[in-house]
Amino acid sequence: MISQLFVLSQRGDNIVFRDYSRDVHKASAETFFRKVKFWNDDGEEDAPPVFNVDGVNYFHVKVAGLLFVATNRVNVSPSLVLELLQRIARLIKDYLGVLNEDSLRKNFVLVYELLDEVIDFGYAQTTSTELLKSYIFNEPIMIDSAVMPPLGAASIFVKGNKRMPGTVITKSVVANEPGGRKREEIFVDVIEKISVTFNSSGYILTSEIDGTIQMKSYLTGNPEIRLALNEDLSIGRSDYASSTAVILDDCNFHESVHLDSFDTDRTLSLVPPDGEFPVMNYRMTQPFKPPFRINALLEETGPLKAEVIIKVCADFNPSINANTVLVQMPVPKFTNRVNFELDHESVGNTTDFKEANKRLEWSIKKVVGGAELTLRAKLTFSQELLGNIMKEAGPVSMTFDIPMYHASRLQVKYLQIAKKSKAHNPYRWVRYVTQANSYVARL
């Protein structure tokens, strides 16, 4: 099924390379990297995840700046191979705590150990973090992970008076804590990626939420867990639910999830396997309140001049902050100078004109709920514009992370751990984060 599997660094170095059936030439990694790097002449288009060069199929996924690649010569299910590559990346992360080039280089022997068990002669064997534990003997060499929190700033949460450090989730499933005894805890993250397109008058053209309930368990003894969601949750659009109900278009579940009582009380029960895994993926096209409203205005102010005004309103509770907000807008290609003017000289606000791809960038470190921010930019052109200026610029796009915010209103009502002893109470973390997937306002 798979002939070779290798992991390349961003520069194309082999970090691990495993040949299973030897029907693909040894230089395949080089061929692959050259092909991906120079997919087309101008280097603007990305190589597709699957392509064929001289009868060899190359499959790849990009994770944490690394390229996980498989090759073969036979016709197989592409999604099987891509899922497998993705799963291998996740397994490695489970074992190393942090997945990046550095950790991989330090632990390549452990990675070989994993690869040997996950794939035998090209056939997928087990990918269960838990089952594999008994076959892995190398101790992971931890790297300093404090600098790379997994969910950006969202990884620091305050819940009650317990403060949870962002590094907790980057611990390996096999490494022992410095204190000796393992900390009993379980993390449930509700991650929602939202896509919204506004037309020029601010009306929502399309909107969608792609959500995942991600779980990472460090509980010993494999206790059963019950996860309760909103009671008024309905799936499929045919239901006539009340206007406050959360209506999902569709969802799917991890194979460990039992749905016996899901239809009656919207609870999921499962015995969580070790490592990180998605409990449930869901998709929603029901209208929802977008966290940001964007108004963008572009006006010609002279023969070689125009002005852009972008107004961003944070339409959420003041107790919540949005982080790492970035607003971008392409401007006409003859633009050669831009003067920015910000309303509030707030800290962490930077503006930039990217000359090479003719784009305005406005990055804001933190936006407090209810805030209204305005950017004015005066554009100067090197040539007179011939056509309609509106067709030469835009749209405005935005990326952000909002911790503790769930656009869909889907909630984890409670997280119950069936445990024999009452004295023992593991830590339970339920976190929400909403991220922009494609957040676009047209001019």
String marking each residue 80-99 x if it binds another protein according to CB under 8 A: x-xxxxx-------------
Least Cβ distance, residue 39 to another protein (angstroms): 9
The token duo for 248 is: 């999902």
Interface residue with another protein, options 283, 293, 365, 378 (CB under 8 A): 283
* Residues numbered 194-223 forming contacts with another protein, rule: CB under 8 A: 195, 197, 205-206, 208, 210, 212
CA atoms within 13 A on the CB side of 236: 3
The token duo for 359 is: 């784009």
The token duo for 36 is: 């991906």
- Can you spell out the DSSP letters for 180-199? SSPP-EEEEEEEEEEEEEE-
Question: Rule CB under 8 A: is residue 382 a binding residue for another protein?
Answer: no
Q: How many residues bind another protein (CB under 8 A)?
A: 90
Interface residue with another protein, options 12, 149, 152, 278 (CB under 8 A): 278
* Residues numbered 412-431 forming contacts with another protein, rule: CB under 8 A: none
The token duo for 333 is: 């290609």
Question: Rule CB under 8 A: is residue 10 a binding residue for another protein?
Answer: no
Question: Rule CB under 8 A: is residue 334 a binding residue for another protein?
Answer: no
Instruction: Give the whole-angstrom CA distance, residue 63 versus residue 154.
Output: 20
Question: Rule CB under 8 A: is residue 253 a binding residue for another protein?
Answer: yes
**Which one of the spans 57-65, 177-185, 298-306, 318-326 is the region binding another protein (CB under 8 A)?**
57-65
* Residues numbered 386-415 forming contacts with another protein, rule: CB under 8 A: 386-388, 391-392, 394-395, 397
Interface residue with another protein, options 133, 182, 226, 254 (CB under 8 A): 254
Q: Which of 184, 130, 125, 192 is nearest to 403 (CA)?
A: 192
Instruction: Give the whole-angstrom CA distance, residue 428 versus residue 271.
Output: 15
Question: Rule CB under 8 A: is residue 255 a binding residue for another protein?
Answer: yes
Instruction: Give the whole-angstrom CA distance, residue 63 versus residue 276.
Output: 15
Least Cβ distance, residue 174 to another protein (angstroms): 13
Least Cβ distance, residue 393 to another protein (angstroms): 9
The token duo for 156 is: 């620091």
* Residues numbered 346-375 forming contacts with another protein, rule: CB under 8 A: 357-358
Q: Which residues contact 371 (CB under 8 A, 6 or more apart)?
A: 313, 314
Instruction: Give the whole-angstrom CA distance, residue 61 versus residue 70.
Output: 9
* Residues numbered 13-52 forming contacts with another protein, rule: CB under 8 A: 13-17, 19, 21-23, 26, 44-46, 48-50, 52
320-352 burial, b if ≥16 CB within 10 A, otherwise e? bbbbbbebbbbbbebbeebebebeeeeeebebe
**Which one of the spans 8-16, 311-319, 342-350, 415-423 is the region binding another protein (CB under 8 A)?**
8-16
* Residues numbered 97-156 forming contacts with another protein, rule: CB under 8 A: 108-109, 112-113, 116, 120-121, 123-128, 134-135, 137-138
Instruction: Give the whole-angstrom CA distance, residue 85 versus residue 63.
Output: 10
* Residues numbered 291-320 forming contacts with another protein, rule: CB under 8 A: none
Q: Which of 146, 131, 126, 140 is nearest to 92 (CA)?
A: 140
Least Cβ distance, residue 124 to another protein (angstroms): 4
User: Given the complex with another protein, which of 371 and 436 has the nearer CB atom?
Assistant: 436
